[in-house]
Structure 1
Amino acid sequence: MNSNGKISFDFNQPVERKTSQLGWRGGISGNEALMNFCRVMVGTGVLALPLAYKQSGTIVAILLILFAGFFFTYVSCEKIVISALALAKRHGYASLDYGNVAENAFRHSFDSIKRYGWLARLFTNGSILLMQLGIAAVYTVFIKEHFEEIAERIFPSHNLSGSIFFGLALAGCCLIVMIRDLRFITNVSTFGNVAMTIVLIMVIQDLVRPPYASGQHLASPSLPSIIAAAGNVVYAFCSHAVVLPLANKMKEPKEMSGHRGVLSLGCSVVTILYALVGFFGYLKYGDAVRGSVTLNLPDTTFYFIIRIFLVLVVFTSYLIQHFVLVDMTWPRIQNAYGANNFLINYPGTAERMLCIVFVLAAFLLAVLVPDLGRITSLVGVTAGCFLGFIIPAAIHTATFLPEYLADRDYRSLALHMSTNCAFFICGIFFTIAGIYSNW
């Protein structure tokens, strides 16, 4: 608050941090944060974007990707970051995660909503858990469908049902999540990042080379198919849960935002990449494109190896997703039931039992929606819309609306509150319409 009583936040000043609470002194640079952001953004979701072109048509799909890249990712992540930095500056917090930003935005806002801070934190953390669980379910279906492709290559005359491959996927997932050593998980993550880069390069070089499909004839897509395409696009772009951890690790968190910040550059690069992969994937395979474009790759030994490689990559990603799930919930379980004899005597066993519970929950969702294109879209329009549209708008409104009203800054009020209202409307519309279209 300045001498005029105005609550302000100068983005040209570094955030004052309590380094004793942070646990680190230096931090990563803006360039390192940019590379990490792009690496996290570009995952298996990009492989479903050619399907979005099939579902909505080329023009609509490009518009959806541009909309998601700018509004869903850049603008909404910008709202989260500037709200977190403002709250940290005003109230002396060292750093805040997504749930704590939501809680403190409400706690330090209007008197009428202060008491709902805990609910905002609960809803935000619940949405993150739902997103992670949904991604795990997508990975389960992804593994199952690629297992089927691999089996058909090795045993062309097999008559195994889809249930058998679901069982194999479940067994593999249960085994991989038993790994709890952090150093090993870090090495697995590094391997997964390198392997995913190789797979994407191999896939992209196939997509851009002719021959191309002759039939892309979806002239007037229906609203449900456009909503389904939007869900696939949102799923590919959803990375809101990693933005604040990255900002908290930066030497200068203010470099995350701004027109030349990490978010702006990262979203621009990823949006262009996504638009090109989706376009060339649909151009290459036309209306035959499947839930993951890797399922359309040529039936050769080289691409058979690529498919196997990709399954290994997805298993590593599955392990990371479950590590996040357990890392968010296990400490709370220990705090709530710390006196339980079983938790005291067998903490490792109890933690692995929690891992199995999450695996089974993701497996159940995968069985309920066993189609890769549908489940990807469903996760995008539910948890993705919560994290990318509804929650950022609520946080930004609770953080800055009292300031705009107190200062009679009606220009900022009109600009930011109109976008927040639009975010609310988009989030609610896509969630309801998406569930109806995909379930």
Structure 2
Amino acid sequence: MTDNAAFSNDGERSYPPASSIGVSSESLGEKPPSYASAVPPLGDFNSKSNLTEKNQLSLAEDPYNPFEHRDPNGASSGGALAHLLKSSLGTGILAMPMAFHNAGLVFGMVMTLIVGFLCTHCVHILVKTSHNICRDAKVTSLGFAETAEKVFEYGPKGMRRFANFAKQFVDIGLMATYYAAGCVYIVFIATSFHDVINYYTGINWDVRIYIALTVIPCLLIGQIRELKWLVPFSMMANVFIVITFAIVLYYMFDEPLVYSDKPLIAKASSIPLFFATVIFAMEGIGVVMPVENSMKKPQHFLGCPGVLNTAMITVVLLYAIIGFFGYVRFGDTVKGSITLNLPEGAWLGDTAKLLMAVAILFTFGLQFYVPNTILWQKINHKFNPDKHNMTQILLRSGIILLSGGVAAAIPNLEPFISLVGAVFFSLLGIFVPSFVETVYLWPDRLGVCKWKLVKNIFLGVFSILALVAGAVSSINEIIELYSGED
């Protein structure tokens, strides 16, 4: 617990003058907001209750409540839940049996639950920090990059010069990750249709033809600019995914399961591949802030049960179930996507492949929303406002066509995307939230014996190890891929 005086000393946390952040001194009174209460305990994630507790700031001291200024026509809690589920239940979950193959049954199950908890916690602290800095800066909402920027801008004096770097780092990381993932989405959709249609019709079309055909619906879905209009697509995608999972589960249990020949813990050399797969598959950090910012009742995002907790509990359980039983069922023959293990030519298995392809297609709009929003915010001032609509149409179409071109030029993009995903999701999903929280709480709101600092150091080290392991594994896969072609 600290008071205002604790933040006015030169060696401590103090706030920049109002003029430096584009706010009039009259509106802020040239006085930093009071911190009569500390940041809420880590276990209490209900931001609404924390803003109204008697031991929190009184309205006279800080009357600004960012939740009161949200769009009343924003997305509902159900819509936000659908978006979060869809952003986390992509192609990554299909690779979970392979992840368990690289980890072993017991180690894979335990670490899937632990990694799921860590990812959820990092999202919690990012959103909670964003809520707090919105109150401090008196703004309605902030995105991921803007949250990082404002935390540094309002942080300790020695860190303020890194505010713009923090914003640019997050922005570039998000754009690189999601544009690259969009390319692999196109490849996944096209390959699924290629396998099924070619098998049943007897035609021998190259996968690049299917990539060209896949680009057409992507061009249409990619023009949707409001997150709430993507809700129907997310909901339909979730339905298709549930049906696909049901079919996959049917094939998992259509024969007796054999556990005795599966290792409880895999060899150490393959475990890094497990962590790279799980982190890449689970992390939807780039979608979190846009979804939260679009909600008309953002206080429902955190808390218990809350939108985030409900989504992540569902995601982690599905990952654990599919990974565990998928590996038990198919053993060492398990493939990178469990749908590839389904019987070829069986109508039920092929239905699962097609439904998953359509679900990923419906997800493309949400995947495309994040990087395009970032890019447009950076360049929209360069165009005549009267031409903004046409400019956005051309820009979005050009990026999608370019993504399709990259996919057609290199149909096997998985190793490259895994490299980008492992690097940026480890950094963006774990390292950045923990570092941002540390800067915001520095120096004397880090808990008893600075336990939050110790916790965040652990998260940072874990993210770097995951980054290195994922990068090395992806590079080795790329080398093996092109060595095989030679």
Please, what TM-score do these two structures have when normalized by structure 2? Answer: 0.76
Structure 1 counterpart of 2:27: none
The answer to whether the 8 Å contact 2:182/2:364 transfers is yes
How far the C-alpha of 1:188 sits from its partner, in A, is 3.7
The answer to whether the 8 Å contact 1:64/1:233 transfers is no
Structure 2 counterpart of 1:352: 394
**Higher RCO structure (Cα 8 Å, ≥6 apart):** 1
Which piece of structure 1 moves more, 375-384 or 388-397? 375-384
Q: 1:390 aligns with which of 431, 452, 460?
A: 431
Summarize the alignment of residues 72-221 of structure 1 with structure 2, pairs less than 5 Å apart.
73-154=119-200, 164-173=206-215, 175-179=217-221, 180-181=223-224, 187-212=232-257, 221=266
2: CA distance, partners of 1:382 / 1:153: 37
Greater helix percent: which structure? 1
Deviations 1:8-27 (A, max 9, x none): 34553337435785332787
How far the C-alpha of 1:56 sits from its partner, in A, is 2.4
The answer to whether the 8 Å contact 1:213/1:285 transfers is no
Amino acid at match of 2:452: H
Structure 2 counterpart of 1:274: 319
Helix, strand or coil at the partner of 2:141:
coil
Deviations 1:251-273 (A, max 9, x none): 66455445654444443332222
Alpha carbon RMSD of aligned pairs, Å?
3.4
2: CA distance, partners of 1:371 / 1:181: 26
Amino acid at match of 1:239: G
Structure 1 counterpart of 2:90: 43
2:54 matched to 1:14? no
Structure 1 counterpart of 2:337: 292
Amino acid at match of 1:388: G
2: CA distance, partners of 1:34 / 1:357: 28
Structure 1 counterpart of 2:101: 54
Q: 2:453 aligns with which of 417, 423, 436?
A: 417
Helix, strand or coil at the partner of 1:283:
helix
Q: 1:206 to 1:403 in 2, by over 3 A?
A: same
Q: 1:235 aligns with which of 273, 280, 291?
A: 280
Helix, strand or coil at the partner of 1:24:
coil
How far the C-alpha of 1:394 sits from its partner, in A, is 1.7
Which piece of structure 1 moves more, 283-292 or 216-225? 216-225
Amino acid at match of 2:463: G
Q: 1:104 to 1:346 in 2, by over 3 A?
A: closer
How far the C-alpha of 1:80 sits from its partner, in A, is 0.4
Q: Which has the larger radius of gyration?
A: 2
Deviations 1:222-281 (A, max 9, x none): 555322221211122112223334444556645544565444444333222211111111
1: CA distance, partners of 2:350 / 2:246: 15
How far the C-alpha of 1:124 sits from its partner, in A, is 1.2
Which piece of structure 1 moves more, 239-248 or 207-216? 207-216
Amino acid at match of 2:250: Q
The answer to whether the 8 Å contact 1:255/1:261 transfers is yes
Which piece of structure 1 moves more, 264-273 or 250-259? 250-259
The answer to whether the 8 Å contact 1:109/1:402 transfers is no
Deviations 1:47-66 (A, max 9, x none): 11111012222223223311
Which piece of structure 1 moves more, 184-193 or 380-389? 184-193
Give 5+ residue unaligned stretches, structure 2. Answer: 7-34, 41-46, 53-63, 476-486
Q: 1:226 to 1:140 in 2, by over 3 A?
A: farther
Amino acid at match of 1:116: F
Q: 1:436 aligns with which of 458, 472, 477?
A: 472
Which piece of structure 1 moves more, 58-67 or 183-192? 183-192
The answer to whether the 8 Å contact 2:107/2:264 transfers is no
How far the C-alpha of 1:288 sits from its partner, in A, is 1.5
2: CA distance, partners of 1:151 / 1:50: 26
The answer to whether the 8 Å contact 1:133/1:362 transfers is no
Q: 2:112 aligns with which of 62, 65, 73?
A: 65
Deviations 1:303-353 (A, max 9, x none): 223322222222222233224332331343221x215xxx96695366334
1: CA distance, partners of 2:318 / 2:434: 27
The answer to whether the 8 Å contact 2:215/2:404 transfers is no
Amino acid at match of 2:434: A
Deviations 1:355-400 (A, max 9, x none): 333553476378668264x456434412211221111012101111
Please, what TM-score do these two structures have when normalized by structure 1? Answer: 0.83
How far the C-alpha of 1:68 sits from its partner, in A, is 1.4
2: CA distance, partners of 1:212 / 1:152: 32
Aligned length: 423
